[in-house]
Structures are given as structure tokens and as C-alpha cells.
Amino acid sequence: MAEVENVIIVGSGPAGYTAALYTARANLEPLVIEGFMWGGLLQQTTEVENYPGFPGGIMGPEMMQHFRDQAERFGARLITDQATAVHLGTEPGAEHRVFVGDREYRARSVILAMGAEHKKLCVGGEEELAGRGVSYCATCDAAFFKGSRTLVVGGGDSAMEEAIFLSKFASAVTVVHRRAEFRASSIMLERARSRPNIELLTPYVVEEFVRGDDGALARARLRQVETGETREIEVQGAFVAVGHEPQSALVEGQVDTDPEGYVLTEGKSTRTNRPGVFAAGDLVDFTYRQAVTAAGTGCQAALDAEWYLRDTPEVPTPEGLPEGDLAEAQWAPPAGAGQLVAPDAASQPSRS
Ligand SMILES: Cc1cc2nc3c(=O)[nH]c(=O)nc-3n(C[C@H](O)[C@H](O)[C@H](O)COP(=O)(O)OP(=O)(O)OC[C@H]3O[C@@H](n4cnc5c(N)ncnc54)[C@H](O)[C@@H]3O)c2cc1C
């Protein structure tokens, strides 16, 4: 084990493993603290149909095994345990310390990729039927519910977004919300209301998801909040859209976050407010939340970490790191403002 790691990656979803792959290929020998639940959210799903490169689709756990294998192939080292604490340096070149229980790891750079958990309703049948009708992502799973009766739980913009997207596939979408008023913006509400196959049902809560004889979701039991009356509706798909919880508690008080806990990064980069600390994936992104976007920012974080290690005078440049221009040059506007300039091949780092 190196005394001071070049880079420690915390988290092992598409963002963490992609960062591991890129930093491993840049000879940085990354150490990945992948958590008990390695592989991230896609371990909870069945078929992934929208990750480019798999025309026939691929099962989520199988895909994450591929991500993991590919990172390991180039030398990423994995610890299948939780990071329990971090002490992040505040000055350029300062060491960062990451703890796994009592064990301390030191690093010159850290990539945070702990993801965001979907908030759950915590009602009967929810866990058991997850992936068998109960979902947390319409963009991911709506296509499995063509011509089906579905419901969406939630009252914010995300719930409306989910309902509108779902209404393009499902025969019927019932939006169930616990209050009479919606938190969603009026424009989103109007869009939802204007779809003929979306019905808004308030003030109701889901009490239970009920499975059918085939083991998949068949019905949802709902309760009217004011009267207590219950009723069951037939549904094949239920989408829970009551928010997300970014897993940023580990870095609370050290790395800047927004009020919801999403880690803030600088401009288009993955740089946090701490020098040498980068963040990627759903931990940062409350908008797109897709495997391919998480992998994309994992790649960005790896390159940002590489450039930090190479170009920060206070940090000894790791051996074998590809050479290139100062990192700032990558982000600077092209010379001759407003004009397209042909890239100068000699000044472009080689990153094939
Ligand atoms: C049911 C479901 C189906 C989905 N289907 C699709 C789909 O079909 N297509 C698609 O593009 N997207 C899909 N998504 C969304 C996609 O899974 C996420 O956008 C993506 O996984 C985010 O990647 P990430 O690397 O940022 O985080 P995650 O995948 O959430 O991974 C974060 C990892 O960090 C680990 N971690 C957290 N805290 C610590 C700690 N303290 N120490 C160590 N490790 C830690 C976690 O255990 C986890 O392994 C789906 C999501 C769900 C829930």
C-alpha cells in the first residue's frame, strides 16, 4: 500500500468506477472505497436499456460487474467497505485523510462519488416489489409499462415530470399526493393536467403495494388523508417521486453543498471548494441522474484530479502521469474570442 495515495475514490456506482478506470489508465493506481453496497443504484434494477453500447440491453448488476472488472483490469484497488470519516485538507497540496473504521488512508486527491438515494415511502410491499412494478425512475423504466395502468407518488416538479414522461407510454397515470395543493410549479401542473391520461388524486397516501399471483405489482391500497377511507386501484407500475437524498453526510461541513446536500462544484469542472477534492455523479447532479451522465462526470473528475496532481506546484507529480499543458488551458476559452480555431495538436494532451 502506498504511503500517500495519488487518488482515493469514495463510491462505486457508474461515477466512481469510471473515475477509477480513467485514473488507473493514467497510472495513478487509484484506491476505491466502494462501500458495502458496491455497484451503486443499478444493483437494484433489472434491465438497463438506455446505456449506450448495449443494443440488446443489459441487466443492471451485470453492467456494474463490467464497470468494476474494467477498472480492476487497469490496476484500481478496491476496498469493499464504507468510508466512515474524512478530513479534507484546505490548502493546495495538503493531504486528505479518509477513514474506513479505524484504518486511515492518506491521499493527494479525493474523488467523491457517493450518489444519491431515492427517498422511500416505507410502506408495505415497496421493498419486495422494487424492480417488479415499483420504480424510482420513469426515465429509466417507463418503457416497460406500455399500455399499463400506473401511478406516480409525489407533488413536486419531479413527480409531474415523471407523470408526463410516463403518460407517453402508459394507458393511465394516477398522480397520488398527500396534500390538496401541489408543490409543483404551475407550468408543470398545467402540463400534467392537459394530458388526457393523467389523473391527479389528492389528498391521498399509498398504504401498501400489493402483489399479484405472478409476483409483480397488481394493486395499490390508498388512504384518503382527511376521511381515512381506503380504496384499492389496479396498477402494474408505481413510480415513487418524493425526492432524493444525496449521500454527502460524510463531507458535511467540509465541502460546500446546496441546502439539499448536493455537493457544489465550480463551473463546468468537478472541483469542489477544497483543493484536490472533486465530486461526480448523482452526488452533484439533481437534474439528469442517469448512469451515462454519472459515468461522464466520473470521467471528468478523473481528468480534473489528473490535472490537479500534474499542475499543482505543491504536489509532487506522480510518476508516469501523461504529460500535457496546464489544466487551466483545458478550460480557457479558445484563442481569438468568438472564432473557431483549429486545435493545436501539439498542445493537446494525449488521452486515447
Ligand atoms: C431502480 C433504478 C433503476 C435505474 N435505472 C436506470 C437506467 O435504466 N438507466 C440509467 O441511466 N439510470 C438508471 N438509474 C439511475 C442510475 O442508477 C443513477 O443515475 C446512477 O447509478 C448514479 O451513479 P453514481 O455513481 O452517481 O451513484 P450510485 O450508483 O448511487 O453509486 C454510489 C455508490 O457509493 C457508495 N457509497 C455511498 N456512501 C459511501 C461511503 N460512505 N463509503 C463508500 N461508498 C459509499 C454506495 O454504496 C454506492 O455504491 C436507475 C436508478 C434506480 C434506483
- Segment 265-293 mean pLDDT: 95
Distance (angstroms) between ligand 1 centre and the Cα of 281 equals: 8
Interatomic CA distance for residues 93 and 107, integer angstroms: 10
Residues with CB under 6 A from ligand 1: 10-16, 33-35, 37-42, 44-45, 48, 50-51, 82-83, 113-115, 118, 135-137, 140, 247, 250, 281-283, 289-292, 294
**Active site residue: 69, 102, 122, 141, which one?**
141
Where does 5-117+244-331 sit in CATH, by number?
A: 3.50.50.60
Checking if the pLDDT of 339 tops 90, the result is no
- Percent of the chain residues past pLDDT 90, beyond the cut: 77
| pLDDT score of 323 | 65
- pLDDT of 351 > 50? The answer is no
DSSP secondary structure letter of residue 271: B
Grid cell, residue 128, equals 419486495
Give the rounded percent of residues in the chain with a pLDDT score beyond 70: 91
294 Cα–ligand 1 center, Å: 8
State the CATH class of domain 120-240. alpha beta
Tell me what pLDDT residue 2 has. Answer: 54
pLDDT at 162: 92
Q: What are phi and psi of 338, to 5 degrees?
A: 85, -10
**Catalytic annotation, pick one of 81, 102, 137, 285:** 137
Angle at 248 between CA 244 and CA 252, to 5 degrees: 135
Active site residue 299: no
Q: What pLDDT is stored for residue 333 in this prediction?
A: 55
DSSP secondary structure, 153-210, as one string: E--SHHHHHHHHHHTTT-SEEEEE-SSSS--S-HHHHHHHHTSTTEEEETTEEEEEEE
Contacts of 89 (CB under 8 A, 6+ apart): 95, 96, 274, 275, 276
Residues forming beta bridges with residue 208, ordered by sequence position = 124, 221
**Are β-strands 47-48 and 237-240 bridged in parallel, bridged antiparallel, or unpaired?**
unpaired
Residues of each domain in the chain carrying CATH 3.50.50.60 = 5-117+244-331, 120-240
Greater confidence, 1 or 242? 242
Residue 137 a catalytic site member: yes
Grid cell 399479484 is found at 212
Nearest CA to ligand 1 atom 51: 41
Cell numbers placing 62: 451485470
**340 pLDDT higher than 60:** no
How far is 314 from 333, CA to CA, in rounded Å?
A: 26
Mean pLDDT of the chain: 90
pTM over 0.85: no
**Chain segment 191-216, per-residue pLDDT in tens:** 999 999 999 999 999 999 999 999 99
Catalytic status, residue 122:
no
- Taking the C-alpha atoms of residue 279 and residue 200, their distance in angstroms, rounded to an integer, is 37
Q: Which residues pair with 42 in a beta bridge?
A: none
Number of other CB atoms surrounding residue 185 within 10 Å: 12
Determine the residue of 9, 21, 31, 41 to mutate for testing ligand 1's pocket, defined as the one with the most ligand atoms within 8 A of the Cβ atom: 41
Residue 223 — very low, low, confident or very high, per pLDDT cuts 50/70/90? very high
pLDDT exceeds 50 at position 132: yes
